[in-house]
Structure 1
Amino acid sequence: MTTPRRQFLGLTTGLLTGGLISTAMSSRAAAQSPGQQPQWANPVHRVANAMSVPKAEVPRDVPGKAALKRGLDMARQSLEISRNQVRDYTAILVKREQVGGTIGEHEYMSIKVRNRKVSGGQLLQPFSVYISFLKPSSVKGREVIYVENQNDGKLTAHEGGFKGRFLPTVSLPVDGMLAMRGQRYPLTEIGVENMIIKLIERGEKALRYEDVTCEFRRGAKLKDRVCTVLEVTQPTQRPDAEFYQAQVFMDDQLNMPIRYIAYHWPTREGQPGQVIEEYNYLNLKVNVGLTDADFDPNNKAYNFYS
């Protein structure tokens, strides 16, 4: 049996995973778990000995926009930590996105990421991503690899399960129509560092509006991680406003965000808005020593060409 290339590409368009932001829970979201989390999803965050994370000043009773400014300071500090001290990391990414007006189910994936490193204008370490889909069953077994400046800028992907037995490994443009179908963001925007950058952009935009409110909540938990939650609410639905309410969970030990969730404006007063996007980075382990082999489709531990 042969499968036309276009038909196969249609089957593989769900491979890309957005991840621009680690997700935060509000008091509303805190009672929810990101799907039923299997045993392997229990987070065990580790900080390598070589990584020195300064203890952030935990915001206390900071009102209004002052709280948002404090949150932006925390995000900028987190970005500095990521750029200067985090070479690579592994995590279980749990994501849920609304695309075309429909919110998808939670997807679980094991990811490996090497952060982009530049010195003196020279690219020392390209941004690199490996993804192995874990659940639901419709995506289990899929694998995706992207390495900056390799493979003509394309990702390498293959299906899992029964389809993976007879469908070939393919290369797809990361921002092409097929690769972006069913996804909010291209693969190049996945990861904690990209998430922080986007958080800063959105926070700076929110500062322009007088009716935007912001508050901190301390002592929240995502699994076993103690976090400080920043919640931003934009009551006025402006054309350039991307959410009604958003929450960021900042890991108090790592000084890095590990969860983000954003909601639409409620259609009825007193009712919660629909989820726009949700990203959770569980079991986050930094500076684990990833190598080129971790981002090589020919790695015998992977199934790209089996």
Structure 2
Amino acid sequence: MTLQHSSPIGRSQPRRLRIFMLLSTICIVGVVVNTHWGSQRPAADPHDFRKASRRASTVTPVASAFNNEILQVAATEPTEPTSATQPLDVDVQKDPQQLALQTALNLLENGRERLKSINHYTATFIKQERVGDELTEGDVTEIKVRHEPFSVYMKWVETDAGQEMLYADGVNDGNILLKQVGWKSRLLPVISLDPHCVLAMSQSRYPVTQMGLLRLVETLITDRQNDLEKNTDLKCQLFDDEVCHERPCYRFILEYGSPQVSATYRKSDLFIDKELSVPIQIANFTWPESDWGADWGCEEMDDETLIEYYGYCDLALGTPLSDLDFDRSNEEYGFQND
């Protein structure tokens, strides 16, 4: 009579195989979960990007251009609805609040027209977001963007240096391609993900399909139009002679009156390039938890409530780009080893 698997060695072989397959599966799943916008990394000091990117040439809101009225006045009287094609007829003496909002709106509309007049641009893109309860360390990437058909190429230059991402509307079944680096690249050199799937969104608040200056400008225009039309309870400060990413800028600091007015956003700090009329940096802040300390300073509260930071350095509008810049077969990219 023959005993099945009587040898310890004979019994261990299928067991070792099952264990190896299980560990391999766990490793692969772990890689995918942690790879869309970089590995899970410890949260960074939110000061790092915001403080390093700008210097203020003035410490008071703009006043001289508006009859010495400082633009930090809460709106108190209702106004007639307005639109981008019909600017408000604002009495500066009575309503500098709306003038500040209208100024931001006008600049953004000019920026939108400039962006629509070109189809490509390149930049160094800095992103830091709060995803769930965690503030990510942040990413610094070199980007190429095409408006039509919408396409994005990204290459990480600091943490996860060498990692690449490619998305082109209507290509690769609408999925993104992510070229990994380090030990992860030995398991899965290139992965393809639906930009809206859970794995792809694990390190980002928005899908890559919503990325870029044009979409940011359009969102901000809609927000400012709503603020003006609804006479939103907020205050807005306009600063002149600011420098951000080594570019002369206007700076707008907008603060909402309560969570009932704006459930997600408490404050927005926006820098608009004076020459290009496009936003080159924005930091958005949410409301603090109910148990926040009354003795907190404004800076400490901002550090604790930052949810979105986006910066565009070395922005080059209209940079000539070709289809090859958004093609996985580009020999300068690393998407061939899938």
- Scaled to the shorter chain, the TM-score interval is 0.7 to 0.9
Where do residues 1-306 of structure 1 align in structure 2 (5 Å cutoff)?
A: 3-4=24-25, 6-14=29-37, 32-33=51-52, 60-61=65-66, 63-83=96-116, 85-116=117-148, 126-136=149-159, 139-207=160-228, 208-238=230-260, 240-266=262-288, 267-269=292-294, 270-271=297-298, 272-273=301-302, 274-306=305-337
TM-score by length of 1: 0.78
CA 1:197–1:15: 2 relative to 1, 3 Å: farther
CA distance in 1, matches of 2:158, 2:260: 36
Q: What SS does the aligned partner of 2:114 have?
A: helix
CA contact (8 A) 1:132 1:144 kept: yes
CA distance in 1, matches of 2:188, 2:170: 26
Higher strand fraction (1 or 2)? 1
Deviations 1:65-92 (A, max 9, x none): 2211221121112111111x22211111
Residue 239 of structure 1 deviates from its aligned partner by: 6.8
CA 1:248–1:161: 2 relative to 1, 3 Å: same
CA 1:70–1:14: 2 relative to 1, 3 Å: same
CA contact (8 A) 1:233 1:246 kept: yes
TM-score by length of 2: 0.71
CA distance in 2, matches of 1:218, 1:187: 32
Higher helix fraction (1 or 2)? 2
Residue 64 of structure 1 deviates from its aligned partner by: 0.9
Residue 198 of structure 1 deviates from its aligned partner by: 1.4
Residue 15 of structure 1 deviates from its aligned partner by: 5.1
CA distance in 2, matches of 1:105, 1:202: 28
Indicate the larger mover: 230-239 or 218-227.
230-239
For 2:157, the aligned partner's letter is L
% identical equivalent positions? 28
CA 1:128–1:169: 2 relative to 1, 3 Å: same
CA contact (8 A) 2:264 2:287 kept: no
Deviations 1:197-251 (A, max 9, x none): 1111222333324421112101100132000011111021127433111011111
Which runs of 5 or more structure 2 residues have no equivalent in the other structure? 1-19, 40-46, 55-63, 72-95
CA distance in 2, matches of 1:70, 1:115: 26
Q: What SS does the aligned partner of 1:33 have?
A: helix
Deviations 1:125-180 (A, max 9, x none): x01100011122xx222111111111111111121123223323121111111111
Deviations 1:9-38 (A, max 9, x none): 22323359xxxxxxxxxxx99971159xxx
Q: What SS does the aligned partner of 1:32 have?
A: helix
For 1:154, the aligned partner's letter is N
Larger relative CO (CA 8 A, sep 6+): 1 or 2? 1
CA contact (8 A) 1:34 1:94 kept: no
CA contact (8 A) 2:120 2:320 kept: yes
Moved segments of 4+, more than 6 Å = 28-31
CA distance in 1, matches of 2:49, 2:135: 19
CA distance in 2, matches of 1:106, 1:178: 18
CA 1:203–1:242: 2 relative to 1, 3 Å: farther
CA contact (8 A) 2:282 2:311 kept: yes
CA contact (8 A) 2:252 2:271 kept: yes
For 2:260, the aligned partner's letter is R
Q: What SS does the aligned partner of 1:260 have?
A: strand
For 1:249, the aligned partner's letter is F
Superposed CA RMSD in Å reads 2.7
For 2:312, the aligned partner's letter is Y
CA contact (8 A) 1:78 1:256 kept: yes
Indicate the larger mover: 193-202 or 60-69.
60-69
For 1:76, the aligned partner's letter is E
CA 1:80–1:256: 2 relative to 1, 3 Å: same
Which runs of 5 or more structure 1 residues have no equivalent in the other structure? 17-27, 36-58, 117-125
Q: What SS does the aligned partner of 2:110 have?
A: helix
Query: How many residues are matched?
Result: 261
CA contact (8 A) 1:206 1:234 kept: no
